[in-house]
Amino acid sequence: MKIALLRVDDRYVHGQVTAAWVKLANANEIWVANDAVAKNPVIKQLQKSLAPPGSNVEVYTIEEAIKKIQEEQGKNDNKRVLILVANCVDALKLIEEGAKVDSVNLGQMAFRQGRTQIAKTASVSPEDVEAIKKMVEMGVKVWYQQLPDFPSRPQDVMKLLKDKKLL
């Protein structure tokens, strides 16, 4: 199993993921890693039903996803996984526990109280900012791009944080 893309997107499996990111990453499996989704049978089944043709969707708690990554990563098979998490804290947990990625893509992170909007569809909490800093310190590039062609090129999240005076 190879992690084709680790994306922060609090909508999980939806049109942009199924139409654009799966294709760009050449992924044939999608993992939703989120405790609340994994523990809600209705939402879990909904996520699985949104699988694009030729792809499989699995839903795991963060701990289950960590275990699956540790068991399967690096096995010589053709599985290419796009992993979706709700926030940067969860992305960091996966990386700290062994997920091998060069970068993390920030997509949709809805605005709500206590968050700062840093891009059109991305708002971060103070905890997200700390997680981003730790990922960057680990050598992981963190970039924002809502769609593969919007904005026209990926944006460096550290620059976005500096521009908003969050660093």
pLDDT score, position 37 = 97
pLDDT along the chain (167 residues), means of 10: 96 85 93 97 94 90 98 90 97 97 96 96 97 98 93 93 96
Q: Write down the pTM of the prediction.
A: 0.95
Residue 103 CA from chain centroid, whole number: 10
User: Could you tell me which residues come within 8 angstroms of residue 109 by beta carbon, excluding any fewer than 6 positions away?
Assistant: 8, 9, 10, 87, 115, 121, 122, 123, 124, 128
pLDDT score, position 117 = 97
pLDDT score, position 129 = 98
Q: Are 33 and 39 in contact (CB under 8 A)?
A: no
- Active-site residue set: 14
Q: Which one-letter DSSP state was computed for residue 20?
A: I
* Reduced DSSP (H G I as helix, E B as strand, rest coil) percent helix, strand, coil of the chain, to 5: 40, 25, 35
- Tokens, residue 108: 């949709």
pLDDT score, position 2 = 96
pLDDT score, position 104 = 98
Let me know how long the chain is.
167
**Does the structural domain 2-163 have CATH classification 3.40.1480.10?**
no
Task: Tell me the domain boundaries of the chain.
Answer: 2-163
pLDDT score, position 123 = 97
pLDDT score, position 109 = 96
